[in-house]
Amino acid sequence: MKLLLNFLFLIFLSSMLSGCAVQNLESYSTEKPNFDLKNYFQGNTTGWGIVQDRSGQVIKRFVVKIVGKFEGKKGILDEQFNWSDGKKDQRIWKLEKTDSNKWIGFADDVIGSASGEIVGNTLRWKYTLKLDLDDGSVNVNFDDWMYLVDDKVLMNNAKFFKFGILLGEVTLTFLKSDES
């Protein structure tokens, strides 16, 4: 019995410690090229992605076509999703730059606003998304990280949670079109 309690305590302790290992946005401050959200998403961009459940199993694939239009500190991203199951979705983001490296975003399926911060080549978005399911909907929290690789390629990893429990993640690669 004591061995079992010690084993359970070690599992609990390791899960608590791994939960404390959080990415630090400031650690990307010297990474190049610097990410300019407005410049990258102005015009046409295509993304290819997968959705994985918490075990890592790929449960969906998708392609997203994005048209970005910016004026001053405001912009719109029109995202057209084509899912591997044939479903099509659209999300329109309304973005606003609020500081030299901070953005807020609004979309119909985002609860409240999304907050984004850019440091070096990296953008971190945090938001709550309403996901429609066959039998209703659920609000999940996204921790969304984007890494600019070069002037054309942007890598994206977003983990989504409910009550602090990891439900899955989305991985995307974006390619900016030459025709902006």
Where are the alpha helices (H) located in 31-169, listed in sequence order? 37-41
Give residue-wise pLDDT tens across range 123-173.
999 999 999 888 899 999 999 999 999 999 999 999 999 999 999 999 999
Give which of 155, 123, 71, 45 is closest to 114, Cα–Cα.
123
- 3-class secondary structure for 97-130? EEECCEEEEECCCEEEEEEEEEECCEEEEEEEEE
In terms of Cβ atoms closer than 10 Å to its own Cβ (0-12, 13-18, 19+), residue 50 is: middle
Q: The whole model's pTM is what?
A: 0.85
Residue 9 clears pLDDT 80, i.e. is over it: no
Taken in order of first residue, the domains within the chain and their CATH numbers are 42-176 (2.40.128.20)
Give residue-wise pLDDT tens across range 29-44.
999 999 999 999 999 9
Sorted by sequence, the CB contacts under 8 Å of residue 149 that are 6+ apart come out as 121, 155
Give residue-wise pLDDT tens across range 81-94.
999 999 999 999 99
Q: What is the enclosing helix (H) or strand (E) of 4? A: helix 2-20
Token output for 180: 């902006």
What's the whole-number mean pLDDT along residues 2-12?
48
